[in-house]
Chain A
Amino acid sequence: ILNVEQSPQSLHVQEGDSTNFTCSFPSSNFYALHWYRWETAKSPEALFVMTLNGDEKKKGRISATLNTKEGYSYLYIKGSQPEDSATYLCAPANDYKLSFGAGTTVTVRA
């Protein structure tokens, strides 16, 4: 089981503001990093699968970067909207299983 840290644990954002948060993971034996968004009472929704150092992925107003050498990934939300309120989970993949961090819970205030 990999040691995955996400920070901050939670954050509150004003609607329209942009924000970002971090996922840290062991840089050795890296294969892939998965990002998920998990809204209350719903299933976790896959956002990105990232594999290459320097990789950048984008989906609408959400984007992510990856640094495999130092073992971190940033997820950015541009122009936050209330529907972005969710817990965002990162999970490095190892031995064909995902090791999830505890998540960053984002609350967007209108």
Chain B
Amino acid sequence: EAGVTQSPTHLIKTRGQQVTLRCSPISGHTSVYWYQQALGLGLQFLLWYDEGEERNRGNFPPRFSGRQFPNYSSELNVNALELEDSALYLCASSLGPGTTDTQYFGPGTRLTVL
């Protein structure tokens, strides 16, 4: 069974640009989560999508947004990039939206903002 996949692996952008990160969940999983790990910080919850709807978002500005498609894949968009957006972005998927459902993580996208 294929795991969670993310693309691209690495990305370099400049301040002010926009970026789109992509995530494909495990087959059959309907919930997709996005997390950010900035340098020196732990994993921070960004967004949660389930059945095509945004269900919850973390303490991030509105320039972080995303969507979930009918096939449950997801995109994370970051507008007006700032230097502090440089981070590892991890996507995770789970079978359902429950708090006891295991979240399976992808390999991440490393974003560097210059």
Contacts and interface: CB of A to CB of B under 8 A. Distances in A.
Contacts of A36: 105
A68 to B, nearest CB: 13
How many A residues are at the interface, by size bracket?
20 to 34
B108 interface: yes
B107 A46 contact: no
A103 to B, nearest CB: 7
Given A36-B105, A100-B43, 19 more contacts: A1-B58, A31-B99, A43-B104, A44-B105, A46-B102, A46-B104, A49-B100, A49-B101, A89-B42, A91-B43, A94-B99, A96-B48, A96-B55, A97-B56, A98-B33, A98-B45, A98-B103, A99-B45, A103-B42
Interface of B: 3-4, 33, 35, 42-45, 48, 55-56, 58-59, 90, 97-108
Interface of A: 1, 31-32, 34, 36, 42-46, 49, 51, 89, 91, 93-103
